[in-house]
Amino acid sequence: MPEATTDRDPVYRDTGNLIPRNRAAHPVPYDPDYKTSVTRSPNLPLLSMDSTLTEETGPVFGHTLLGPLDNNLILNFSQGRAPAVGERIRVHGRVMDEHGRGLPNTLVEVWQANAGGRYRHVKDTYFAPLDPNFGGCGRCLTDAHGNYEFMTIRPGAYPWPNRGNEWRPMHIHFSLFGHSFGQRLITQMYFEGDPLIDRCPIAATVKSRSQLDRLVAPLDMHGSRPMDYLAWKFDIVLRGRRQTLFENRMEGL
């Protein structure tokens, strides 16, 4: 069991062998409808190996590395001088391991397009205007129970050069560092009810509908604030430790 923690100084360090990845739950690496996957997909079968000490330890992030507005994308780019333009939203949830235990002190980073569907990036040539008060990046550490939250602007959909008239659904990119390098995760969060999800070749690389639905954040009216913002709840599961013995082979604590 994890040790006792406080909100300011979590000491949870659950190191040890990680549960092997479930490859069946991952998007397919090669999908001709997502044209860049054709050149980027591996040519040889993937190898599955036990986790090593390097994957099972570190890194550690401290609260002193984060600024007071780092998780508020509405204000952090302008340092509070002016708010970003768009629909204010709250994105929140819980980061857990595969046994449902909250993961405190986990670094959660996000990046996204602005309300018009444009990223603040030199290679984004979409003609939607840039918001001078929106940078599109944020970060936070989970609390003692694995909870996180961001205030941001709902991102816009945008076109991309794949096949004809293709549009990406509204989405937010997530990057997480759990309590070991083996718990590194990069993923995307979609919004409940967005009709573009079912038309997106990138989302379609997730062949299991139940797995794709796990990337869709439901609207959370209980976490919303009247006359202010709507909320979406996005829980994230990282790899945990093996918990049981199997025949004569150690696979757990």
What value, to the nearest 5°, has the Cα angle with vertex 223 and ends 79 and 109? Answer: 45
Please confirm, yes or no, whether 145 is among the known catalytic residues: no
Residue 179 among the catalytic residues? no
Cβ atoms of 109 and 141 within 8 Å: the answer is no
Annotated catalytic residue within 12, 34, 119, 148: 119
Candidates 218, 231, 86; CA nearest to 150 is: 231
How many angstroms separate the CA atoms of 133 and 171, rounded? 20
Neighbouring C-alpha atoms within 13 Å toward the C-beta of 213: 3
- Annotated active-site residue 119? The verdict is yes
Radius of gyration of the chain (CA): 19
- Of 92, 118, 171, 239, which residue is the catalytic one? 171
* DSSP code for 120: S
Please give the Cα distance from 190 to 204 (Å, whole number).
13
- Which residue is catalytic, options 145, 173, 184, 199? 173
* Residues present in the chain in total: 253
Phi, psi of 59 (to 5 degrees): -90, 175
Q: Quick one: tokens of 68?
A: 């007071």
Q: How far apart are CA 212 and CA 189, in angstroms?
A: 10
Instruction: Specify whether 30 is catalytic.
Output: no
Q: Residue 216 corresponds to which amino acid?
A: V
Q: How far is CA 76 from the centre of its chain?
A: 19
Is 63 an active-site residue? Answer: no
Identify the active-site residue in 158, 179, 190, 241: 158
Q: Which of 154, 168, 179, 241 is catalytic?
A: 168
Distance CA 189, CA 253 (A): 33
Q: Which residues are catalytic?
A: 119, 158, 168, 171, 173
